[in-house]
């Protein structure tokens, strides 16, 4: 039944293979335009390339540049109702000046002065915080105060009420990741302002309610037995991440399979109610390259943003290479080859839009 | 644990609530720009509206205008390798002249002269054909020739080889629907040219292999027991669709629940291996309004394209109303209210991007 | 990590390898008994055999013997509240006289005289009817009258109200299949009597409401979009089954893959809301052997009951062989090898408990 | 369509409502018997009761009786190939002397002397160990040595190679739970002997490889991203269970919802790749009653075995009540009402066959 033909690789082009330009054709094209029509044959090279060509470009933002600007915004720009957050977003140079790190992902540095609050709101956009340095802010989610500390990952599923409070005497900055561009593009975003009063935190608890309920490996409270699309665990602490990664490298050293490739340990943050991604549209991972590691080159459908957590290394995305250091953020557009090396060790946080493709069976493995 | 605050509806604005413009702030904004950064507080009104605001606009294309232009293209533009298809796409007036009916969906009229072939290729974009009039073309999918006739719906899942052959002595036009804009935007598209030789069809079989295997209600061949993301049934014939819709209206008349609302019958085309949508990213349905029917107003996350199959009626999308007739195509952007009435009866084919939102838990029902 | 040892096949035995019998051991065994304890080491050969050893035996029941006894029951035994149904069950010779065809499955002939009703009740046991001959009875499910005719398959999911009414002037007999033994054994059965009044059927409709809603290939009413564990389609008509099987054999003859093996066509009855089995615990299929066909030998975890619908053939189950003809029923216990041949063609209805094993990942494919 | 009748509760009976005994009827019954047939109308009261009537009975086994007998078996019965394990099973008084705690579940005490090994084998039966006291034994699973200590729960999915080694100078006893009766009854069991040589353990590692890979809350190794039907985590340590339960009671004391009911904390052991049960056929949980707690009465489809881990309390199952203390095991048959009270606090381990019913949609919630 399936007489699969052997494919012939022809070059798709925009300009070539076009019909002879004539007055009649020109008239037809004008008629198309006036009727809001566009022919496929003039667009196919752009619309249906042989492999993905993202408008986004590989790009690197330096933490040493970002942080002072955020501090400057802290001095000049109030935080409060209306603007809602003192967040400054990465704008990919291929995406027309929009505050989009990739076509689907938002990445921003958020900054809160001592004693400041970011007001309560909720939105359908899925969000997370990742803390590269500092502490002292609590994110309050539906009344549950979640401490933020270096190395912590805090997922924040859509449509939950949340605010941020700096209870310390130091400013704090961190990274926000969201699917704002995706929801903006697809027209699926709702937003609601919360009450004006700040969430009351009597004290500053070291562990959130959610961690006390959900932060035990493989143990599920009997009060919460249904799978939820997003994780109920509101903080993934650095001590666990660090321990899991060290563990993989030790297992590897003992001769057991545990790492992605030699010297390359990695974990995915998961939803304990399903084992899947923490958020329906955003994947988050932590990667550790042991000193002297050189990764294989990877290509995947969908885009990623990485932030260097600690260490240094060389990163190559497509034709671009950078030497990276703590706090630096870089973008890997869809299908751009990525490789990394590190002489002295490199820890990286990563987020991507991979769940979108997997849920829709558009991840390449599925189709190749 | 969840001290849900009672929401307060404040108006989000772009211009209001901005920090006092000063020289320092201006300098900061310039620094942002040079570092490829954009603050949230100037963009939030656009990016995070209270409810979806699609860039796409409601719009109607008249079949009586489309068809002659397609015929004219048939006279002037050859079909073959390079341009691949003589397809002319609807370009939503809100989407900057791109050939996108909505942010995610492509809708085009395709036209094939007697004896013409559209060459073999495959792509990750999911596609379908819907036939508003005529017959005589066979779509050949992996070697299986599928006849196209008025009222038929032919899904065409991504990455299957396919071509079209007009075996008749009449030209034929039909509607193509694809997820080209979505895959273009997300960077997930692959494309491959097939061999130059046309698929050989010895005769013009009335039923495809796929229908002979899969076209029996509730019966599954024992050779194909795994669920597949897309439907293996390559044609959904008009006689079945028509009979299902008539059946619903008769059941309603007999006092049994069967219709969506009084006088409004509707079926969804489904994948017999899962009961879900025929394609991972595209939903397809057929709606029938009995004479004198007035639908309730509906709002949903995600965009739709409708084509009138037969009959006449009044359609209102947001603030726009049209009188529609056979072949007319119109667009319903995300969250725009839709209502329809028909004095003499109205049959409509519909496709939408709803599976994207349901798979990602972004459909509104899930979040409200 | 997984230092998989190479397995050594040792014969497990009950009697061998037992500890030396001594007075002390005897005393210990008596102490076990008085405390309601049983050691593993005396039982392991029975409990943990190298491969499944079902208590059930291969057995054949002849239709030409069953039908006259059912008719005699029709003369002597009333049908009504209390006994509920005039059903006579196959009692596997290995299962201690219980009315169990296999450890999990019930198979019975049911008989209804002209004008008789079997009263309304419901139970958690999943059921179906398969009609080997005759017509004139309607099964009424939640008020929906479903005609029963030769070759029809009528699934009847648990906990739906149902009765049977013979509206003709002829007696009618058919086969009931249920998961009574499984639910009895596991303690999961509930039962409820319905009202005394018979379901009113004004006329004897040729098609049930369910067929008018659900009996269209690949089309789903928009009023019923959630998957249900059991099929909403209450009749799978012979004309469709016959057509699907003929179609497979014709496709095979034309050189296309469509049959399980040469000359062996087969369909599975499926739930259109999921593509899976019609009932959560019972799989149902129809097999056709073209004249001259010899099947491969099959072994599978779980038990089956077959009924010959038409034709003749030779069936071998384990060490037992029979020549079978129309209406004959035979049992294939778990893991017993099955093969069949037919000189002149053979049509068989089959039901099994396979979904139990697949849902629990105990089907052998999964573990081997 | 669904004219749901209002149910009438009639008493189902075996003896009543039977046809008048006559010579003809007697002859028919004899004919049934000789043809291996059994009528429904004489059996329906037993087979289709109004609610589940399990053959199993509520029963309690005292640890203070079990443990000395196991020690005595340690003195008299060797462990090794053939008998395979020195395990002594609970035989429910309602189940005809078979070593079945319930119709589906096996529960046994296993005993290993200092320096002893239980040989390598594998089987499709799903198993776990729960440790009520002692330590010093390592279970070796596919070469991964897993330490066993008081309070630890060790799942052991079917078809993995495993052995037990006592590396200490003390005997050790623990509880084995398996689905032996279920797989025996359904005919789905396979068994394979491993090599004669014992698994080599160079040292006695405190943490298994599996814990080092999987024992981090919400973190998944990138090398293992597919869901597996059974948990890859081979030990759930007491310290985590204890902490989770204490946490729930503290949250409750602070006014947050966290417990099943006042004073009743509970966790379910789950598979981190799915969030579901650790084994496809066996559910495992740990319950803690704070001092002074009285549970509500619970009824559920399916059977359970409880073991008291520490503390004391009163347990009522159906019409039977016991005062329980450390190590005691008791059985709750399907649909028998269970309630518990504790004056000074009670910790209980529980296992049940609930996943069988949930996977098959036979859990009562689904049908009621």
Per-residue pLDDT, B202 = 64
Per-residue pLDDT, D16 = 57
Looking at chain A, which residue has its C-alpha nearest residue C2?
A256
Tell whether C97 is within 8 A of chain A (Cβ).
no
99-118 of D, contacting C, C-beta below 8 A: 99, 103-104, 108
Measured at the CA of D228, the angle between CA D225 and CA D230, to 5 degrees, comes to 140
Residues of D in contact with C185 (CB under 8 A): 103, 185
Tell whether A4 is within 8 A of chain C (Cβ).
no
Return the percentage of chain C with pLDDT > 70, whole number. 94
Strand order of the β-sheet with C127-130 is: C153-156, C127-130, C172-178, C106-112, C87-90, D37-39
Phi/psi class of residue C96: alpha, beta or left (left: φ > 0; alpha: ψ in -120 to 50)? left
Tell whether D37 is within 8 A of chain C (Cβ).
yes
Return the percentage of chain C with pLDDT > 90, whole number. 89
Q: What are the pLDDT digits (tens) for D327-351?
A: 999 999 999 999 999 999 999 999 9
A300 and A337 in contact (C-beta within 8 Å)? no
Q: What's the alpha-carbon Rg for chain B, to the nearest Å?
A: 23
Residues of A in contact with D244 (CB under 8 A): 216, 219, 221
Which of B31, B73, B194 lies closest to A7 in CB terms?
Answer: B194
C104 to chain D, closest Cα gap in Å: 7
Both tokens assigned to C95: 């299962």
Which of D2, D49, D355 lies closest to C189 in CB terms?
Answer: D49
Tell whether C352 is within 8 A of chain D (Cβ).
no
Which of D4, D38, D89 lies closest to C38 in CB terms?
Answer: D89
**CA separation (Å) from B187 to A48, A333, B182?**
10, 8, 8
The Cα D366–Cα B202 span in angstroms is 54
The Cα A280–Cα A104 span in angstroms is 13
| Partner-chain contact A281 B360, CB within 8 Å | yes
Residues of C in contact with B231 (CB under 8 A): 218
Q: What are the pLDDT digits (tens) for D200-241?
A: 776 779 999 999 999 999 999 999 999 999 999 999 999 999
Closest-CA residue to A238 (of A152, A121, A342): A152
The Cα C267–Cα C304 span in angstroms is 16
B43 to chain C, closest Cα gap in Å: 39
Widest CA span of chain B, in angstroms?
78
Looking at chain C, which residue has its C-alpha nearest residue B261?
C223
| Partner-chain contact C250 B215, CB within 8 Å | no
* CA end-to-end distance (rounded Å), chain A: 20
Per-residue pLDDT, C16 = 57
A305 and A177 in contact (C-beta within 8 Å)? yes
Closest-CA residue to C329 (of C175, C186, C210): C175
Both tokens assigned to B57: 């606009």
Please report, in tens digits, the pLDDT of each residue of chain A (368 residues total): 334 444 433 334 444 568 888 999 999 999 999 999 999 999 999 999 999 999 999 999 999 999 999 999 999 999 988 889 999 999 999 999 999 999 999 999 999 999 999 999 999 999 999 999 999 999 999 999 999 999 999 999 999 999 999 999 999 999 999 999 999 999 999 999 999 877 677 677 999 999 999 999 999 999 999 999 999 999 999 999 999 999 999 999 999 999 999 999 999 999 999 999 999 999 999 999 999 999 999 999 999 999 999 999 999 999 999 999 999 999 999 999 999 999 999 999 999 999 999 999 999 853 33
Tell whether B3 is within 8 A of chain A (Cβ).
yes
Tell whether C1 is within 8 A of chain A (Cβ).
yes
Element (H, E) at A250: helix A238-253
Q: Phi and psi for D236 in degrees, rounded to 5?
A: -115, 105
Phi/psi class of residue A308: alpha, beta or left (left: φ > 0; alpha: ψ in -120 to 50)? beta
249-268 of B, contacting C, C-beta below 8 A: 250-251, 256-260, 266-268
Count CB neighbours of C292 within 10 A: 12
Closest-CA residue to B342 (of B330, B327, B325): B325
Tell whether D285 is within 8 A of chain A (Cβ).
yes
Count of CB pairs separated by less than 8 Å, A with B: 359
Closest-CA residue to D160 (of C5, B225, C9): C5
Residue C276: DSSP 8-state: S
Tell whether A67 is within 8 A of chain B (Cβ).
no
Looking at chain B, which residue has its C-alpha nearest residue D2?
B256
Contacting chains of B (3 CB pairs or more, <8 Å) are: A, C, D
Q: What are the pLDDT digits (tens) for C30-67?
A: 999 999 999 999 999 999 999 999 999 999 999 999 99
Measured N-to-C along each axis, helices B23-34 and A63-76 cross at an angle, to the nearest 10 degrees, of 160
Residue bearing tokens 């004056």: D343
Looking at chain A, which residue has its C-alpha nearest residue D232?
A218
Would you call C161 helix, strand, or coil by DSSP? coil
**ipTM summary value:** 0.93
C302 and C356 in contact (C-beta within 8 Å)? yes
Q: A247-277: b or e for each residue (b if 16 or more CB lie within 10 Å)?
A: bbbebbeeebebbbbebbbbbbbbbbbbbbb
Residue D236: DSSP 8-state: B
Which of D36, D43, D51 lies closest to C59 in CB terms?
Answer: D36
Mean pLDDT of chain B: 93
Question: Which domains, from first to last, does chain B contain?
Answer: 59-76+84-196+203-214 (2.60.120.10), 238-367 (2.60.120.10)
Which of A1, A256, A257 lies closest to C256 in CB terms?
Answer: A1
Contacting chains of A (3 CB pairs or more, <8 Å) are: B, C, D
Mean pLDDT of chain D: 93
Which of B1, B251, B257 lies closest to D256 in CB terms?
Answer: B1
Tell whether B365 is within 8 A of chain A (Cβ).
no
Q: What are the pLDDT digits (tens) for C130-164?
A: 999 999 999 999 999 999 999 999 999 999 999 99
| Global confidence as pTM | 0.94
C355 and D361 in contact (C-beta within 8 Å)? no
Q: Phi and psi for A241 in degrees, rounded to 5?
A: -60, -50
pLDDT of residue C367 exceeding 60: no
Per-residue pLDDT, A364 = 85
Tell whether D54 is within 8 A of chain C (Cβ).
yes
Which residues touch C208 (CB under 8 Å, ≥6 apart)?
C141, C144, C145, C146, C147, C234, C235
The Cα B38–Cα A109 span in angstroms is 10
Which residues touch B277 (CB under 8 Å, ≥6 apart)?
B268, B269, B270, B271, B283, B284, B354, B355
C233 and B187 in contact (C-beta within 8 Å)? no
Count of CB pairs separated by less than 8 Å, B with D: 8
Residues of B in contact with A65 (CB under 8 A): 35
SS3 of B141-194: the string is: ECCEEEEEECCCEEEECCCCCEEEEECCCCCEEEEEEECHHHHHHHCCCCEEEC
Once rounded to an integer, what is the mean pLDDT over residues C270-281? 98
| Partner-chain contact C82 D17, CB within 8 Å | yes
Q: Determine which of A60, A70, A187 to mutate to test the interface with B (most B C-beta atoms within 10 Å).
A: A187
200-219 of A, contacting D, C-beta below 8 A: 209, 212-219
Looking at chain C, which residue has its C-alpha nearest residue A1?
C256
C177 and C107 in contact (C-beta within 8 Å)? yes
Q: What are the pLDDT digits (tens) for D70-99?
A: 999 999 999 988 889 999 999 999 999 999
Burial of C53 from C-beta contacts in 10 A (0-12 / 13-18 / 19+) = middle
D348 to chain C, closest Cα gap in Å: 22
The Cα C106–Cα A154 span in angstroms is 54
Closest-CA residue to D290 (of D349, D348, D343, D350): D343
Count CB neighbours of D282 within 10 A: 28
């Amino acid at each position: 039944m399936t007489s699969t033909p052997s494919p012939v690789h022809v070059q798709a082009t925009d300009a070539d293979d076009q019909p002879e330009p004539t007055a009649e054709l020109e008239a037809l094209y004008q008629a198309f335009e006036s009727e809001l029509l566009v022919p496929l044959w003039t667009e196919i090279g752009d619309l249906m390339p042989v492999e993905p060509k993202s408008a986004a470009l590989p790009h690197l933002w330096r933490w040493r540049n970002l942080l002072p600007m955020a501090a400057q915004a802290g001095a000049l720009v109030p935080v409060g109702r209306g603007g809602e957050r003192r967040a400054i977003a990465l704008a990919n140079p291929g995406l027309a000046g929009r505050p989009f790190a990739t076509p689907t992902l938002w990445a921003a540095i958020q900054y809160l002065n001592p004693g400041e609050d970011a007001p309560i709101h909720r939105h359908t956009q899925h969000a997370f915080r990742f803390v590269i340095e500092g502490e002292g802010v609590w994110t309050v989610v539906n009344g549950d105060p979640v401490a933020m500390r270096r190395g912590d990952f805090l997922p924040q599923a859509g449509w939950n009420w949340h605010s941020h409070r700096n209870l310390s005497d130091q400013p704090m900055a961190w990274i926000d990741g969201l699917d704002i561009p995706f929801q903006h593009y697809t027209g699926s975003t709702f937003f609601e302002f919360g009450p004006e009063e700040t969430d009351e935190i009597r004290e500053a608890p070291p562990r959130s309610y959610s961690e006390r309920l959900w932060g035990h490996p493989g143990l599920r409270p009997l009060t919460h037995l249904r799978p939820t699309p997003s994780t109920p665990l509101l903080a993934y602490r650095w001590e666990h991440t660090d321990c899991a990664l060290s563990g993989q490298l030790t297992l590897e050293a003992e001769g057991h399979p545990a790492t992605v490739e030699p010297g390359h340990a990695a974990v995915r943050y998961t939803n304990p109610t399903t084992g899947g991604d923490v958020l329906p549209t955003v994947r988050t991972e932590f990667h550790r390259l042991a000193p002297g590691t050189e990764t294989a080159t990877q290509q995947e459908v969908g885009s990623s943003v990485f932030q260097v957590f600690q260490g240094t290394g060389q990163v190559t995305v497509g034709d671009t290479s950078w030497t990276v250091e703590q706090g630096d953020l870089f973008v890997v557009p869809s299908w751009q080859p990525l490789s990394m090396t590190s002489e002295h060790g490199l820890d990286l946080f990563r987020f991507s839009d991979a769940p979108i493709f997997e849920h829709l069976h558009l991840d390449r493995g599925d189709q190749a």
